Amino acid sequence: MAEHRWLIIHLEAPLMAFGGVTIDAIGVIRDFPATSMLTGLFANALGWRRTEWEKHQCLQDRLVFAARRDRENPAGVLTDVQNAQLKNDDKGWTTWGQPEGRAGGLNTFSAPHRRRRDYHMDAAVTIALRLEPEHESPNIEALAEALDRPARPLFIGRKPCLPSCRLNGGFVTAPTAYAALKCIPCKGAARALWPLGEGPQEGAEVHRIIDLPDIRNWRTGLHGGVRKVVEGTVTAERPGP
C-alpha cells in the first residue's frame, strides 16, 4: 500500500462546535468535525471569501481525513440559548475586520431571534488529513502554513470557539488515515472516525459503518451529500503522557 503524507491538526479549545444537521433554530453538534467545517476552517485561514464557492468545493472534494477524540468532554456539553432583538441598522463582528450590517425595513426585525446552540466543553480532537490529488493547489504544505499564519482569525466551528493551542501539528507518513492517527500518542484506546477504505472495516476496533451527512454544496450554501465512514477506536503505537 502506498505511503501518504498526512497533516496533523490539533483541535482544542474551551468551547468547540462540530455542527450536525440543524433543524429550525436548534444547532446540534456531533462528536467529530465535518468535512464542510474543515473546508471552512482552511478557507478562512487562506483568506477566501464565501463567494468563491468553486475554491471551497474543490478543496472539500479533495479532503481525506480521520479524527480522534483525545479528551472527552470532562465538563459535558454547554447549551447556549440565544435571544436577540435586532434592528435594521445593527451591525455585527466579522472575522475580516469590518462590521457586517443588515438590510431590510424596520418591520423585518420586529420579532426577537431565538436560537439554541450546543458546544463541546474542554474537549481535544486530533485530525490526520491529506489531499487527493496531492499536487494540486493549494497543497498540504500551503494548508499547514495557513494554519500558522492565517489571513483571518480562526475559530473551531463557531465564532466564539477560539483555539487554545497551535493547530498545526506537523506531518507524518502512513498508508491510511487510521495508521496516521496511530502515529500520534494518546492515552489508551480513543474513539475515532475514518473514511471507509482508510482503515479497518471489521474487527474489535470497528463499532459501526454509517452514512455521514457532512458534505456541503458550496454553490447553494446547503448541505446535501453523505460519505461512508467507520466509527471505532484507535490505540496509538506510542502511549501519551
Q: Nearest to residue 122, comparing CAs of 72, 184, 79?
A: 72
Inform me whether the pLDDT recorded for 83 exceeds 90: no
Residue 29 belongs to a domain: yes
Binned at pLDDT 50, 70 and 90, residue 240 comes out as confident
pTM (predicted TM-score): 0.87
Quote the number of domains for the chain: 1
How far apart (Å, rounded) are the C-alpha atoms in residues 207 and 192? 10
Give the three-state DSSP class for 9.
strand
Structural domain boundaries, residue 127? 4-235
Closest CA to 62 of 121, 113, 129, 145: 129
pLDDT of residue 215: 93
* CA distance linking residue 129 with residue 126, whole number of Å: 10
More confident residue, 29 or 241: 29
- Residue 38: predicted pLDDT: 97
Q: What is the rounded distance in angstroms from the CA atom of residue 79 to the CA atom of residue 28?
A: 9
Over the stretch 197-227, which tens digit does the pLDDT of each residue have?
Answer: 999 999 999 999 999 999 999 999 888 889 9
Per-residue model confidence (pLDDT) at position 152:
94
Task: List pLDDT tens digits, range 96-131.
Answer: 677 776 665 554 556 677 778 889 999 999 999 999
What pLDDT score was predicted for residue 11? 97
221 contacts: CB under 8 Å, gap ≥ 6: 50
pLDDT in tens, 22-78: 666 667 789 999 999 999 999 999 999 989 999 999 999 999 999 999 998 777 888
Q: Decide if 100 is inside a domain.
A: yes
What is the torsional sign of CA 107, 112, 118, 122?
Answer: positive
- Taking only the tens place, the pLDDT of each residue in 135-180 is 999 999 999 999 999 999 999 998 889 999 999 999 999 999 999 9
* Residue 165 grid cell: 493551542
| Whether the predicted pLDDT of 230 surpasses 70 | yes
- Answer yes or no: is pLDDT of 92 > 80: no
Strands 63-71 and 189-195: antiparallel
30 within some domain: yes
What is the amino acid identity at position 234? V
Closest CA to 113 of 91, 85, 72, 80: 85
| Alpha helix segments (H runs only) across 73-225 | 140-148, 177-182
pLDDT of residue 107: 47
- Check if the beta carbon of residue 125 is closer than 8 Å to that of residue 33: yes
For residue 3, pLDDT over 60 is answered with yes
Continuous segment of H or E residues that includes residue 192:
strand 189-195
For the chain, helix, strand, coil in percent to 5 are: 15, 40, 40
Peptide bond preceding 133 in cis form (omega within 30 of 0): yes
Give the pLDDT confidence score for residue 20 in this predicted structure: 75
Please give the pLDDT value at position 109: 55
CATH number, position 185: 3.30.70.2660
240 falls within a domain: no
Question: Does some domain include residue 241?
Answer: no
